[in-house]
Amino acid sequence: MHKLLNDTPGEKIMLLGNEAIARGAIEAGVAFATTYPGTPSSEISLNLFQMSQESDLYFEYSPNEKVALEVAAAAANSGLRTFCMMKHVGLNVAADPLMTLAYVGVTGGMVILTADDPSMFSSQNEQDNRYYAKFGNLPMLEPSSVPEAKEMIKQAFDLSEELNQPVLLRTTTRINHSNAFVTFGDMKPMKTKGKFVREPFRCVTVPAVSRQLHVKVLEKMDKAKELAEVSDFNPIQGSGKFGIIVNGVSFYYAQDAVKDLGLGDNTKILRLGFSNPMPEKLIKDFLKDCEKVLMIEEGEPFMEEAVKAFAQEAGIMIPISGKSQALFSRLSEYDPAMVREKMAGFFGIEYTLKEKLSLDNVPEIPMRPPNLCSGCSHRATFYEVKEAGKDMDIICPTDIGCYTLGFLPPLNMGDFVICMGSSVSTACGFGQATDQKVVSFIGDSTFFHSGITGLINAVFNNHNFTLVILENDITAMTGHQPHPGVDMERFGLDGFGRVNIEKLVRTLGVEHVSIVKPFKVKKSIATIREALEYKGVSVIISQEPCALYAKSLKMLKPRAFKVSDKCVDHRDCINTIACPSFYLEDGKVKIDADTCVGCAVCAQICPENAITPLKK
Amino acid sequence: MGTTRLIMVAVGGQGNLLASKVLGEAALISEVPVRMSEIHGMAQRGGVVESAIVFGEATSSIISDCEADILLGFEPAETLRALNRCSKNTKVITNTATLPPFTVSIGKGVYPDVENIKELLKEKCASLVAIDAMKLAKEAGSPMSVNIVLLGALIQSGSLGFTKENVIEAIKRRTKKAFLDKNLKAFELGYEAAQNYGN
């Protein structure tokens, strides 16, 4: 049985933050869960997906976050406890249903998790999604630790049912990807089937209805504010004239710093875990007997602006500072030493920074950027497109997935990316705005997510570009989740449909569609050349399973190649495709037989035919 | 109880996340509070993987620059790169078996001399234990056991205050049964190598 399904209250176990959240959802009796995977949230859904195969939990990977939230909205309005999780930028995709679902509300508890990523460990921006709570009128909870995350999601469901309002649970990477001991609690029974009761004057958001609903939302938020005033998630610890208001993981950095700086006797800390709506009375009372207040929050001055406004209303004239040149930045995540240093400065405590080691005589250390894997079919496709179009001035919009790494040398295939699906729509714009040839790249999962509408636009408005769909049969980057084009029997699951990308693309009206098998280099180059020369929209579908995934399924039996004596050191292999299985030994190119999977792309481009199978 | 801050750096695939889990389990058995944070988004794509483990009193789960008490490096150039996390009081334990980054293979960088890396680590930090964990892992029967060899060396240093027995129990609980004998041997070999280092 899945370790998070053990009905063993009191068991103490080391869990990843995301596992703790998944367990918390199960303890809360969640019956319905939807997602589109995105780091740092992916392991929550992975665990729920696994558990759904061993329990009555309904779980689905939806094609994108908007769909996931809409599917979940219906379940939550049928009375089920429903959980929808995504990374922070995913909530942008789901923002349309989010804003009006907040008006409609829910009848079963609904928690929407947004996993923010300060420092952008694996994201394209570091937007602060706390503003969605304020923007959309959603109560919001923010855990400070892994064990608290598990408890918080349970209370988030209760809160949602008390207010009939979806609740936003906001985490950051350091919650999702930290490990700590967690104690299992009781598992609430799951209610797996609901009933939708028709209430058109709540659920059909025509203007006349929505005007009434907006009034109700504000009333719900007034009630939520009363709950925030007395919430256990907004504790005050310590006492004294120095005040600290803090959220999330920064609480522990602040707590350690207070101790390290010997500020324990004259400092009090208010931690806001129930942070929208802000507990106004609690904050005003907290400020009253403070001499000065330090605001510690990663990201934007979300709390700081509210606290300053409360102080103004209450006529409190003390310094309240957070974001400033001298104090905290709006950039990146914080760390314990940074918080200690800023706190010492603000409260006038003498503090000497730890002495840094002199690194003057340390030689330059070669970078170790992430790279496409050995035997990754994307590398082959990039090389072939580059060869096929080498006499053309090409712009390559790309998209979000492993293949974004194709922008690195020596492939250099990737010129523009802003969000999921943008490769297709920006190709329309670049094709129209310039005379350059446009070739864009999108993965299969990303194509299902939000590439299809861009392609419909291209057909309708008669744009001119080539779209390469990299069909590797899986959502690879986030850890091998299924998507609508995947054969679910490979997961040992039946009862799923499957969308065929080629048929879909033809049905959309794309007239020039070709399929390539990227490990057949010459043939692929010829087919791609023909597509590049086509005037109008052409689509190339490059089909080859993800090598990592195929290896894990034992579909791929690695058969390593070697560089033979025929090598005369052109180094075309290293210089053009740069597979990580190559290395240099005494100035000669070699292939690491332990990592080579035998895709044979290098063997096909070696002018001397010097790369040959390694005979066992 | 004080606080001990451990940074582990490795290259994706070297098994440092499993090593963190074993240490976490050992902390549970030894009743030492522990918090761990890891950055592993690109682990499978050959990037650097870092774990921060805080044992004892402190409540933060990450470690600032200059504040690691122990640096455990799974790859010598990565150990050197992590010097910014160290101070002159940091104890360093490193693998000496290299995994040159791909940038070196394509001539976009030069891999530093391993003897020079050792000298620099020794010169700047409180102590150094440098062992060929790959060689010892192979001796134990599996190149996959590099992580456990290094755990052996870490435990030998005594810095975490865990008994050998508790860590062996954690290895039993957290690693695959099929690899258990090899892992236990790897642990012993790492422990011995650290004990004999410099003698």
Per CB-CB distance under 8 Å, the chain B contacts of A582 are 102, 105-106
Sorting pLDDT into bands at 50, 70 and 90, what band is A371?
A: confident
Closest partner residue to B28 (CB to CB) among A121, A174, A181 is A181
A277 and A343, same domain (yes or no)? yes
How confident is the model over A437-468, as pLDDT tens digits? 999 999 999 999 999 999 999 999 999 999 99
Which three-class secondary structure state does DSSP give residue A168? strand
Q: Do B103 and A366 touch (CB under 8 A)?
A: yes
A387 and A256, same domain (yes or no)? no
Residue A549: closest CA among chain B residues belongs to which residue?
Answer: B44
Q: Are A159 and A28 in contact (CB under 8 A)?
A: no
* Domain encompassing residue A583: 561-613
Rounded percentage of chain A residues whose pLDDT exceeds 90: 94
A204 and A107, same domain (yes or no)? yes
A196 and A256, same domain (yes or no)? no
Mean pLDDT confidence for A168-191? 97
On whether residue A352 sits in a domain, the answer given is no
- B14: CATH: 3.40.920.10
Q: Are A40 and A130 in contact (CB under 8 A)?
A: no
On whether residue A178 sits in a domain, the answer given is yes
Total domains, chain A: 4
Q: How far is A329 from chain B (nearest CA, A)?
A: 16
On whether residue A587 sits in a domain, the answer given is yes
A271 and A223, same domain (yes or no)? no
A479 and A444, same domain (yes or no)? yes
3-state SS record for A470-525: EECCCECCCCCECCCCCCHHHHCCCCCCCCCHHHHHHHCCCCEEEEECCCCHHHHH
* Domain encompassing residue B21: 3-133+161-174
Per CB-CB distance under 8 Å, the chain B contacts of A256 are 58-60
For residue B85, the cross-strand partners are none
Q: How far is A114 from chain B (nearest CA, A)?
A: 17
Per CB-CB distance under 8 Å, the chain A contacts of B59 are 252, 255-256
Per CB-CB distance under 8 Å, the chain A contacts of B83 are 357, 359, 362
Task: Indicate if the pLDDT at residue A542 is higher than 80.
Answer: yes
- A531: CATH: 3.40.50.970
On whether residue B199 sits in a domain, the answer given is no
Determine which helix (DSSP H) or strand (DSSP E) holds A540, and give its type and residue range: strand A537-543
Among the candidates A197, A229, A261, a domain finishes at A229
What gap in Å lies between CA A468 and CA B92, rounded to an integer?
48
- A270: CATH: 3.40.50.920
Q: Do A354 and B66 touch (CB under 8 A)?
A: yes
Among the candidates A552, A576, A599, a domain finishes at A552
Return the pLDDT at B41. 55
Q: Do A370 and B47 touch (CB under 8 A)?
A: yes
What gap in Å lies between CA A72 and CA A74, rounded to an integer?
5
A489 and A540, same domain (yes or no)? yes
What gap in Å lies between CA B86 and CA B95, rounded to an integer?
17
On whether residue A601 sits in a domain, the answer given is yes
On whether residue B70 sits in a domain, the answer given is yes
Per CB-CB distance under 8 Å, the chain B contacts of A361 are 120
Q: How far is CA A371 from the centre of its chain?
A: 19
Closest partner residue to A14 (CB to CB) among B28, B58, B84 is B28
Amino acid type, A404 = T
Sorting pLDDT into bands at 50, 70 and 90, what band is B43?
A: low
Return the pLDDT at A320. 98
Closest partner residue to A180 (CB to CB) among B35, B83, B107 is B35
Q: How far is A356 from chain B (nearest CA, A)?
A: 6
Mean pLDDT confidence for A155-174? 98
- A602: CATH: 3.30.70.20
Return the pLDDT at B44. 60
Return the pLDDT at A479. 87
Task: Indicate if the pLDDT at residue A280 is higher than 80.
Answer: yes
- Residue labelled with tokens 């707590």: A255
Compute the residue count for chain B: 199
Of A99-108, A533-542, B11-20, B127-136, the least confident:
B11-20
On whether residue A371 sits in a domain, the answer given is no
Of A73-77, A548-552, B132-136, the least confident:
A548-552
On whether residue B110 sits in a domain, the answer given is yes
Q: Do B81 and A365 touch (CB under 8 A)?
A: yes
Q: How many CB pairs under 8 A join A and B?
A: 159
Closest partner residue to B48 (CB to CB) among A368, A402, A580 is A368
